[in-house]
Homo-oligomer: A and B are copies of this chain.
Amino acid sequence: MKVEFVNPFITSLKNVVGTMAMIELEVQKPKRKKNEVSFGDVSGIIGMVGPQVKGSMAITFDRDLAFNIMKNMLGDAATTIDEEVRDMVGEMTNMICGGAKNALSEQGYQFEMAVPVIISGANHCIQHKVDGPKIIITFASDLGKAYLEICFDR
C-alpha cells in the first residue's frame, strides 16, 4: 500500500478531532505488521469500494479520548459508552473517511463509502482480513489515544 493512500486518512483524522473537539493528536510512526491488532473501547468501521480501490478503515478510541471528545463537543463528560458516544463515533468515522475520500479523489483515486458500523465493548480487538499488509497508526494525547487501521486489497 502506497504512502499517498495513508496520509490523507492521517490528516483527516487529525483535522476532524482538532476541529470538532479542539484536541491536538500527536501522530506516531505508522506500523506495517501482518498480525498486529488494535484494541479499544469504541470503534467505527467503514468499507470503501472503487474501481482501483477496495478496503476498509477502522478508527478505535479508548474510553478516555472518547469521553474527552464528548466533553469538548457538548460540554458534558460522558461516563459510559452510550448511544450519544456511539453516534459521535459513527459521525466521526463518516467525516474522517469522507475527508480522505476527497483528498484521494483529487489524486485520481475514486471510491464510494459503505455505511459506518460502530462497535462498543471494553477492550475489543479489531482485525482486517486481508492478504497484504495493514497499516496501524497510533494517535496519542494527554486526553487519551486513538488507533487508525487502514487496509486495501488492491
Contact = CB atoms under 8 A, between A and B. Distances in A.
B125 A119 contact: yes
A127 B118 contact: yes
Nearest to A39: B121
Contact of A120 (B94, B113, B118, B124): B124
- Oligomeric state, in number of copies? 2
Interface in A100-133: 111-130
Contact of A114 (B54, B83, B90, B123): B54
Contact of A56 (B114, B119, B128): B114
Question: Chain A interface secondary structure, helix, strand, loop or mixed?
Answer: strand
A147 to B, nearest CB: 13
A93 interface: yes
Contacts of A113: 47, 49, 54
Interface of A: 35, 43-49, 54-56, 58, 83, 86-87, 90-91, 93-94, 111-130, 151-153
